[in-house]
Chains A and B, each alone.
Chain A
Amino acid sequence: MAIDEATRAPEATAAGPGRSQWVSDHLMELSGLVALIACLALFEILRPSIFLTSGNISVILSNASVAAVLAAGLSVSLSAGQFDLSIGETLALSGVVVAKLIDIGAPWWIAILGAVVAASLVGVINGILTVRGGVPSIVATLGMQSVLLGVLVWATNDAYIQILPQGLPKFGRSSVAGIPDIAIVMLALCVAGALAMRYTTAGRNLQAVGRNPEAARLAGINVGGYVLGSLVCTAAFAGIAGVLLAANLSGGHPEVGPGYVLPAFAAAFLGAAAHRTGTFTFIGGLYGAILITAVTNGLVVANAADWTANVVTGLVLIGAVVLSRVARRRSLAHRR
């Protein structure tokens, strides 16, 4: 998009209509930003001096970080046209593994590595089932999440594995200049991922695989390899999200997964809805995660009933998908 802007910029300054052209091209992105600001303003009016306090903002950012890392990973497999429903349990698996490894005395970096590798293995199995076994990814991962949940509950006796409040949990709770450490990790991941999607051949090929697999195959791209790789990437990101969550909660629990699946999908689709051609992007996922977390947090702060968060998240997911389809159709129709 940077290139688009660069080529359009001269038009915009040369003639009056150029500016309105820019606005209409970026309408979706702008409307997303307006929606975010409107939500923040609404909750601030409802609960003045509680919602927009540095403490609450820090809570929103911490919570949004886990969802944003999940959504970032999802955007990889969604770009390749795959659905990974097992991200919630992969996240839980990673949290349990990191907590257990620290519990038995492993150094923090071994624990983190072990957790991310374990999560990636889930992605490898999902990928092999999809590519080699011919099982649609949505089905393979649906089965996988149930298997993982069962195994986790069995292996942990359904118990919370605590990490002593030094090292990782300390990192998970502290912040730099008001920004939580885990949010910094999340930001770094999103930026790195966005750069990789944009500036590597793999990122380009991934989009081609998702959008037109036959064309990609005839262009000599290893479609199966990309599908498998995308599912491994998604699982690895879920693993990192699991580590961040364990750091934030000072431990791992086998049943944290289900609560994160829907917000992550909603965030990824919100990001795509805000994109001009309806493409899944890392930055879009980040923006979506912040928006959805701010809204659900706002509902809590405004003393809304617990069930409202579920309703709102579900509505946001459906609405975002509708919007992203409209965005894509509009952009392609306008270009055709």
Chain B
Amino acid sequence: MAAEGATADVLQVSGVVKAFGGLRALQGVSLRLAPGEVLGLVGANGAGKSTLVKILAGLLRPDAGNITVAGETMAALTPSESRAAGISVIHQELALIDSQSVAENIFLGHPRPRRWGAIDWRRLTAEAERACTETGIALDVRRPVGELSTWQRWATVLVRELRVRSRVLILDEPTAAMDEAHVERVFAAVRGARAAGASCIFVSHRLGEVMELCDRAQVLRDGVAVGELDAGEMSKPRLMELIVGDHAAVPSRVAPSSAPAAPVRGASRGGPGADEAMLTVSDLRQRPTSVPTSFAVRPGEIVGLAGLVGSGRSRMLRILAGAQRPAAGRIAFAGRELRPGSVGRARRAGVVFIGEDRLAEGLVDTLSVATNISLGRPGGGWPRGTLVSADREAAIAAGWIETLRIRGASPNGSVMELSGGNQQKLLFARALECRPQLLLLDEPTRGVDVGSREQLYSIVSDFARAGGAVITAMSDLDELAGLVSSALVLREGSVVDSLPAGSVSRSAILEACYGHR
């Protein structure tokens, strides 16, 4: 019977393992896809969905395991082999050339019809039009893709993939950036593709959509396929149970009241004016279409920003930091209005941001440790702020190297010799040198070893204990639950839930992320 199933399935993935450094993203994942089936692939951030999709697309090589398409095992696992086997992936970042027409984009990467050696534009347009009609999608193939809506752009890629008769169509979060009306069109298009003989894997965070569209759902958690549900068995609670796993709500609830968080709240309650908000955000809209959102942060608080990939956590931090402009809304800080859109203004007011990419957004590799720490340091006006005293800069750096225990750093040394954790501490030193009141941290522990992580936590809690406020985005929910005193859950750029002190746990956050509350 097993052999029979093997020949019937259009795609079989068995025992796929993939590790990045020490982190095992996939720990022997197996799944199957029957002809004409729509399979939902769900799981929290970091569960391994993206890694699996990339392996199927041939973009990553697995460390172990097999992939069989229509009975043939793929040998090389390269992008071209994946395509040749009939696997099409529509990524979230659509591969489109904005300046070219829909018709040209439909032929992107495929041989264009030619006549006497030159491109036959008339036939190309006609064939593109026919491909659209066959798929039942109405598109003006002559228009440049740059002028199209999100849905039309996605449909262009879909037509391109269906034109070459793909066997397995993998849709990575197709509805993430679309509104209700267009979601229905995506569903219709997927059902059309299925009717035309393709099998689909639908990757999504939206459980309602998975239940509506899919014949079966496969749940991944921490790189393991933890269960599958048929259409009849699917329900939000059962899916949530598999996504969250046995991190039961009860033990995690203990986390916020443990060592790092408790003294902070105690101190803030005792401090003067602690009940007054330090930061008040009112009716903020990240994009013109976002739901307006409001929240407040008090001194001594460490607020976690949680949300699935694409929920707008980084964007929210960058807006508060002045690095990006919101579509609308007001920000008040320390009793005064803070006009968004200028990093300098936010820093002078006392709001300092540390970005998630240390190399691209933080360090200047040709400058020394001391200069990197002093970069952007508020000067004392002219002439004191104008002239650099190398001695003073070195003394400042030496002080921070001592206080934050930045190992391996000397004031005149290179920042590139430091480990990830110590580079991050250096950026904390730069931020703290501005004497901020509010620290905005985007994934502060990404790529940081365990020892340095603990030190970063204590820097953050010390800062909050001293009366500062912190807003931090972290993808690792257990880590987030252990550090923060309360959490805001974002979806599509807006705060959809706020978890007060004492109720922040991995399961509570995930339930809020998936809208199951």
The answer for the CA separation of A214 and B321 in the assembled complex, in Å, is 13
B375 and A211 contact, CB distance less than 8 A: no
A183 smallest CB distance to B (angstroms)? 28
The answer for the CA separation of A222 and B386 in the assembled complex, in Å, is 15
Given contacts A199-B387, A335-B414, contact A211 B365 (CB under 8 A): yes
For the side of the interface on A, what is the size category? 20 to 34
B386 and A201 contact, CB distance less than 8 A: yes
- Residue in contact with A215 in the complex, picked from B362, B386, B394, B410, CB distance below 8 Å: B362
Residues of B within 8 A of A199 (CB): 387-390
Is A166 close to B, CB under 8 A? no
Is A47 close to B, CB under 8 A? no
- Residue in contact with A201 in the complex, picked from B355, B379, B410, B416, CB distance below 8 Å: B379
Is B401 close to A, CB under 8 A? no
For the side of the interface on B, what is the size category? 35 or more
B353 smallest CB distance to A (angstroms)? 6
Is B323 close to A, CB under 8 A? yes
The answer for the CA separation of A91 and B417 in the assembled complex, in Å, is 43
Chain B 267-294 interface mask (CB, 8 Å, partner A; 1/0): 0000000000000000000000000000
Chain A 193-222 interface mask (CB, 8 Å, partner B; 1/0): 000001111111101100110111111111
A218 and B343 contact, CB distance less than 8 A: yes
Is A279 close to B, CB under 8 A? yes
B343 and A200 contact, CB distance less than 8 A: no
Residues 218-233 of A contacting B (Cβ, < 8 Å): 218-222
A7 and B412 contact, CB distance less than 8 A: yes
Residues of A within 8 A of B362 (CB): 215, 218
A207 and B367 contact, CB distance less than 8 A: yes
Residues of B within 8 A of A207 (CB): 364, 366-367
A204 and B366 contact, CB distance less than 8 A: no
- Residue in contact with B417 in the complex, picked from A217, A279, A335, CB distance below 8 Å: A335
A204 and B412 contact, CB distance less than 8 A: no
A108 smallest CB distance to B (angstroms)? 31
B347 and A220 contact, CB distance less than 8 A: yes
B366 and A277 contact, CB distance less than 8 A: yes
A216 and B375 contact, CB distance less than 8 A: yes
Given contacts A3-B412, A212-B360, A335-B414, contact A217 B343 (CB under 8 A): yes
Given contacts A205-B375, A219-B375, contact A214 B361 (CB under 8 A): yes
Chain B 416-449 interface mask (CB, 8 Å, partner A; 1/0): 1100000000000010001000000000000000
Q: Which of A208, A219, A332 has the most chain B CB within a 10 Å cutoff?
A: A219
Known: A208-B367, A212-B365, A336-B416; 4 extra A-B contacts, CB below 8 A, are A205-B375, A205-B376, A212-B364, A336-B417
Residues of B within 8 A of A (CB): 321, 323, 343-344, 346-348, 353, 355, 360-367, 371, 374-376, 379, 385-390, 394, 410, 412, 414, 416-417, 430, 434
Q: Sort A-B residue pairs by CB-CB distance and give the 6 closest, nearest first.
A: A219-B376, A220-B347, A335-B414, A220-B376, A208-B364, A220-B344
